[in-house]
């Protein structure tokens, strides 16, 4: 997995305390919001300008996964959660408090939202009376998934994911043809190309959305009488190994006299 740090949100809130006005800044970041099944998902919640003692006295920091409370600071709400999650305080330096949460062995059902929830403790004469929200900052968790369906069309013939990946023979009269290929069900959306022989056919992406997948329509290409060629649709999910799906037409172009 590509190890790159993506900073998402910085949140600041001014608040009144007994001895003046101060400010909390909450920063969250993740290694990558898109992960493969079986990988770890790592997120960070940082409150610069405050030490660990300041945090404990004035704030409560929680991790929530799809609405379920996982930790307060790095104390797990249920011991069984430690089989799936790990938490640690990265920095005990003065004025730089940071937590790291890791979700291990990511599965499709783990997709959703991870949140760093920061609450301010409100005191009245040394008595804790309530918690006020400082920041509830979400991270998106997306799990890459392979292509579920494919439909590759040439003239009136079509191939799907259920067909063999061996070349499928089709005889057509000479002329111009515009093959198309649609794939669906992958996360993220798959890339699609169509080639004739060793040459990629240019075209347009008619659709590319999470509901209908990706539909690529190639520009018209001329198929000359008495020739043979292979036309192939190749689709691949970015970042997901072994996700390539291909279907091939073995095109036989008849003689002009048999049109």
Indicate where the chain has its CATH 2.60.40.10 domain(s). 6-143, 149-258
* Residue 56 pLDDT: 81
Extract the tokens encoding 116: 């760093």
Spatial distance between the Cα atoms of 228 and 250, rounded to a whole number of angstroms:
7
List, for residues 172-214, the tens digit of each pLDDT value.
999 999 999 999 999 999 999 999 999 999 999 988 887 779 9
Q: What is the pLDDT of residues 114-150, one digit of tens each?
A: 999 999 888 888 888 888 888 889 999 999 999 999 9
Instruction: Give mean pLDDT, residues 59-64.
Output: 93
Nearest residue to 24 via CA among 139, 137, 113 = 137
Per-residue pLDDT reduced to its tens digit, 232-247? 999 999 999 999 999 9
In this predicted structure, what is the pLDDT of residue 257?
Answer: 62
Neighbouring residues of 45: CB distance < 8 A, sequence distance ≥ 6: 26, 27, 28, 61, 63, 98, 99, 101, 116, 118, 137
- For 54, the enclosing helix (H) or strand (E) is helix 52-58
User: Can you tell me the distance from the alpha carbon of 97 to that of 118, in angstroms, rounded to the nearest whole number?
Assistant: 12
Task: Identify the band that residue 10 occupies on the pLDDT scale cut at 50, 70 and 90.
Answer: very low
User: What is the pLDDT at residue 133?
Assistant: 84
CATH number of 149-258: 2.60.40.10
* Residue in this structure with the two tokens 């409150």, named with its chain if needed: 47
| DSSP state for residue 219 in the 8-state scheme | P
230 burial level (CB within 10 Å; 0-12, 13-18, 19+): middle
Q: Angle at the Cα of 239 (from 208 to 241), degrees rounded to 5?
A: 115
**Distance from C-alpha of 249 to C-alpha of 112, rounded to nearest angstrom:** 39
Question: What CATH homologous superfamily does 6-143 map to?
Answer: Immunoglobulins (2.60.40.10)
pLDDT value at 1 more than 80: no
pLDDT tops 90 at residue 57: no
Burial status of residue 143 (CB atoms within 10 A of its CB: 0-12, 13-18, 19 or more): buried
Read off the pLDDT band of 93 (50, 70, 90).
low
DSSP secondary structure letter of residue 27: E
Please state, as a whole number, how many other Cβ atoms lie within 10 Å of the Cβ of residue 139: 22
Whether 14 has a pLDDT exceeding 50, the answer reads no
Query: How many CA within 13 A on the CB side of residue 182?
Result: 13
Q: How far is the C-alpha of 150 from the C-alpha of 106, rounded, in Å?
A: 26
């Amino acid at each position: 997995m590509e190890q790159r740090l993506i900073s998402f949100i910085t949140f600041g809130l001014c608040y009144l305390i007994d001895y003046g006005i101060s400010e909390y800044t909450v920063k969250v970041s993740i290694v990558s919001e898109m992960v493969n099944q079986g990988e770890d998902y790592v997120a960070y919640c940082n409150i610069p300008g405050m030490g660990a003692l300041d945090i404990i006295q004035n704030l409560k920091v929680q991790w929530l996964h799809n609405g379920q409370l996982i930790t307060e600071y790095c104390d797990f709400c249920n011991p069984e959660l430690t089989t799936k999650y790990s938490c640690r305080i990265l920095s005990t330096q003065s004025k730089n408090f940071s937590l790291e949460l890791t979700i291990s062995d990511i599965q499709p059902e783990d997709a959703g939202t991870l949140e760093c929830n920061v609450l301010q403790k409100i005191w009245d004469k040394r008595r804790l009376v309530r918690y006020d929200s400082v920041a509830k900052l979400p991270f998106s968790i997306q799990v890459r998934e392979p292509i579920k369906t494919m439909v590759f069309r040439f003239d009136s013939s079509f191939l799907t994911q259920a067909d063999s990946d061996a070349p499928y023979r089709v005889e057509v009269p000479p002329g111009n043809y515009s093959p198309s290929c649609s794939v669906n069900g992958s996360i993220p959306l798959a890339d699609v190309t169509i080639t004739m022989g060793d040459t990629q056919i240019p075209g347009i992406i008619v659709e590319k959305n999470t509901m209908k997948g990706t539909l690529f329509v190639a520009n018209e290409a001329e198929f000359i009488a008495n020739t043979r060629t292979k036309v192939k649709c190749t689709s691949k999910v970015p970042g997901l190994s072994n996700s390539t799906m291909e279907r091939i037409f073995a095109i036989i172009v008849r003689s002009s006299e048999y049109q």
